[in-house]
Amino acid sequence: MTGAIGRVLIAAGSDSGGGAGIQADIKTVTALGGYAMTAITALTAQNTQGVFGVVGVEPDFIAQQMRLVIEDIGVDVVKTGMLHNSAVIEAVCDVVEEYDLPLVADPVMFAKGGHALLEPEAVATVRNRLTPLADVITPNLPEASALIGRPVETVDDMAKAADALSELGAAAVLLKGGHLDSDVLSDFLYAGSNISRWDDTRIDTQHTHGTGCTLASAIATGLAQGMALKDAVERARSYVRDAILGAPGLGKGHGPLQHGHTVSAYPAVC
């Protein structure tokens, strides 16, 4: 470990709107005092209203990005986001295994507006290749449903889904309840025999673009800084909630968070 800094290598796609993906990841890691490095897996043309185009990066080049920063700067934790097809997933997993690095896996499958960000046949690769490598996997309910092959819609479903995801090999599962049909949202962390639960009142806002990317990157930063998993999750959840509450209200659709709220004491330059 490097002490309090925390080196996080993010393998994920770029969001031209700046609210999710690599852009949200870099903002989050930086705002929490870590050092962010990137292996960009895809370019997306998107804004707050949706995703309008995706251009993938060659898997060999993704792996090259990863190896170069690992061997020079060093990496404490890898965080994955949008890995859009099986070849990309395999390339990233090969590097994680080669260097035996801790992994926070956010199994990104859909954009906030519903656009698919993972090829359907690659779900099995996420299930069988990425998940078993993860120190913690952070699916939302639709992603958990896809991974275990059955609906996950209620709090009771979440407990069974977490068990199923653990059986796939993930060391820990943070199952996010943002898609629950309730005013109270529950998140569950299953880490072996230890189960933690957090309940929060839903924030009535459409400005939640990038919450999943942000949460996973915040957790990765905490782990990279030497925090225990539960402590890293608690700090990450608090960071994300404050970022939603402080959202700047940009765009005509699902707007971005206020990732910089931890450093907002600095006045804007007029």
Catalytic residue among 30, 211, 214, 221: 211
Catalytic residue among 176, 177, 214, 255: 176
* Residue 213 annotated in active site: yes
* Residue 253 annotated in active site: no
Catalytic residue among 18, 112, 213, 255: 213
What is the DSSP secondary structure assignment for residue 269, as one 8-state letter? P
Scanning the chain, the segments in alpha helix (DSSP H) are 21-31, 59-72, 86-99, 123-125, 141-148, 155-167, 211-224, 229-245
Q: Do 8 and 75 form a contact (C-beta atoms < 8 A)?
A: yes
Catalytic residue among 13, 18, 177, 210: 210
* Residue 93 annotated in active site: no
151 Cβ neighbours under 8 A, 6+ residues apart: 145, 157
User: Which of 211, 194, 11 lies closest to 105 in space, CA to CA?
Assistant: 11
Catalytic residue among 208, 221, 222, 255: 208
What is the DSSP secondary structure assignment for residue 178, as one 8-state letter? T
Catalytic residue among 18, 212, 222, 255: 212
* Residue 212 annotated in active site: yes
Q: Do 11 and 217 form a contact (C-beta atoms < 8 A)?
A: no
What is the DSSP secondary structure assignment for residue 169, as one 8-state letter? T
* Residue 177 annotated in active site: no
* Residue 27 annotated in active site: no
User: Active-site residues: which are they?
Assistant: 176, 208, 210-213
